[in-house]
A = this chain, B = another copy of it.
Amino acid sequence: MNQPVQRAEETDVVELRVPCKAEWVALARLSVAAVASRLHFSIDEIEDIKLAVAEACTNAIQHAHGSSYIEIRCEALADGLRINVRDYGRGTRPESIRSRELEDERVGGLGVFLIRSLMDDVSYDVHPEQGTQLVMTKRLPV
């Protein structure tokens, strides 16, 4: 979001920045759903993408203390949609970001698990001082 992306191969990029507050997650969800719909994902796939984006935003709100904004970058790929969610909060240790054991009946700990279950490629880039960046891709069915 900090520098305009203008490449030779024209991939469409949509960027959204929302306050890192609970009341703006619905907007993030809706906007990304509209991008996914534009790229002809099915209704079920759009629901998966919405949920993954919401979980990422929720984690930024609940764990990325000190982040004012959440930035969401959607990149239209030839075969799918790559979504980048980043915050500028305190971040965490990489080993904290893991899916829970399903046997474990805790109240929390489902967010990362859902993101990994619903999206096709998921990677976290965690900087304790500079926040957390999540890159996830949903592929269009072939």
Contact with B along A31-52 (1 / 0, CB 8 A): 1001100100000000000000
Please tell me how many copies of the chain the complex holds.
2
Q: Which residues 9-63 of A have a CB within 8 angstroms of B?
A: 12-19, 21, 23-24, 26-27, 30-31, 34-35, 38
- Specify which chain B residues have a CB less than 8 angstroms from the CB of A21 in the assembled complex: 12
Known: A12-B21, A14-B16, A18-B14. A26 touches B31 (CB 8 A): no
* CB <8 Å contact, B16 and A12: no
* CB <8 Å contact, B17 and A14: yes
Binding site for B on A (CB under 8 A): 1-2, 4, 6, 12-19, 21, 23-24, 26-27, 30-31, 34-35, 38, 68-69, 88
22 contacts between A and B (CB under 8 A): A1-B17, A4-B68, A4-B69, A12-B21, A12-B24, A13-B17, A13-B19, A14-B16, A14-B17, A14-B19, A14-B24, A14-B27, A15-B15, A15-B17, A16-B17, A16-B31, A23-B38, A24-B38, A26-B34, A26-B38, A27-B35, A30-B34
